[in-house]
Amino acid sequence: MGLKEQQNCPSQRKIAVFIVLAFIPFALFHLCFNNPFSTIDDTTLQDSAAHVVLTTSSSSSHEEETQESLDRVKEEEALCDYTKGKWVRDEMGPLYNGSTCGTIKDGQNCFRHGRPDSGYLYWKWKPNQCDIPRFDANRFLDLMRDKHLAFVGDSMARNQLESLMCLLSTVSSPDLVYRNGEDNKFRTWRFVSHNVTVSVYWSPFLVAGLEKSGTLDHNVLHLDRVDERWGNDLERFDTVVVSVGHWFLHPAVYHESGSVLGCHSCEASNCTEIGFFDVFRKAIRTTLKAVAGSRRHVILTTFSPSHFEGRPWDSLGACNMTEPYEEGKVLEGLDLEMRRIEMEEVTAAKAALEAVEVRLEALDVTAISVLRPDGHPGPYMYEFPFKNGVPETVHNDCLHWCLPGPVDTWNEIMIEMLRRWMV
């Protein structure tokens, strides 16, 4: 480059700087009066909205994942077979005792009647796949708020009912609002704190019938209709727990459709011996069909085994064990067959109820309970049976359960069933 051209460069630079400085005011003026963001068209807005939707979709996806997790938890709970497990030591012991609960039937108050051992109180059922929470009375009352729970059946239904009343009474005192029949066979309580009603209906066959008495040496059953003593009140129940079995072992004559169907242990009667297993099935079927008439929760507590172990009921030493059986004890004979019938009928009824808003489940306690020969009153069905020494014979109750005792576990399982239904 020549000397003359080098001398012209500063002048050119000055001109360029002047042009830039002159342009700046015009640019500022344009920015003030012409908003460049006004050029965003509808398409751009739609893209922005689409981004919001995408964010919402992401949140929805998270909610779906959360729901899937909850569903998996519920599925895992449903898959947990609480009938498979073992009794393990529980140092916490029962929530109540024979002195703190006023609804215990006298014959099941083992503590007050002088049973000397207390080890039977310190066991809990531990399923192999899950845990059963300790009974929460407040939780139960919350689940049943403004509802009517009815227990219908024989003395085992009453045993379970009285266990539940003792458990609930630890947090709320019930008012007895109705009582009728000898031996408190028909009673109703109300927990005012939660507006919960609990009733018990004596009905040892569930179906209509006459119980043997001084003038009648056998039972009479009508297998095609339920006992109206509870059937007439069925529409008042939100949840009903049915439980029968042992009364079917007694001599009986059976009727169906207005005719004599047959009998059981009826040598002196002029009718056909048909046993009681098929009759028991018919009674369960008739009952489940009746309770499915409208929306409610239905629980069938399965057959509760006795532990006379082949001994006469008045023999010394009947059901005198003080600890549970080991896991190897299995169901057999009467216990196995009665439970099988009940489980089959529940399964069949559930299949028939798919289109009806009824929740039906079996509270399967047979295998759990067969492991607890230590949980019965035995001779302590009466107060201090050995106060005058040891007699040659003594009456034993190896059928019902001490309160507190193993039957409390039934209600711990029941509250979990209700929770899954009502969540």
The residues annotated as belonging to the active site are: 155, 397, 400
Q: What are phi and psi of 114, to 5 degrees?
A: 95, 15
CA distance 179 to 48: 70
CA distance 321 to 371: 11
Tokens representing residue 208 in the block: 């209509």
Give the burial string for 271-308 (b: 16+ CB within 10 Å, else e): eeeeebeebbbbbbbbbbebbbeeebbbbbbbbbbbbb
Please state whether the peptide bond connecting residue 404 to the residue before it is cis, i.e. omega within 30 degrees of 0. yes
Residue among 279, 270, 289 nearest 250 (CA): 279
Q: What are phi and psi of 5, to 5 degrees?
A: -70, -35
Half-sphere exposure of 110 (CA within 13 A, CB side): 26
What's the Cα-to-Cα distance from 407 to each of 45, 292, 358, 404, rounded to whole Å? 67, 27, 26, 8
- Edge-to-edge strand order for the sheet containing 219-226? 207-210, 219-226, 252-256, 259-264
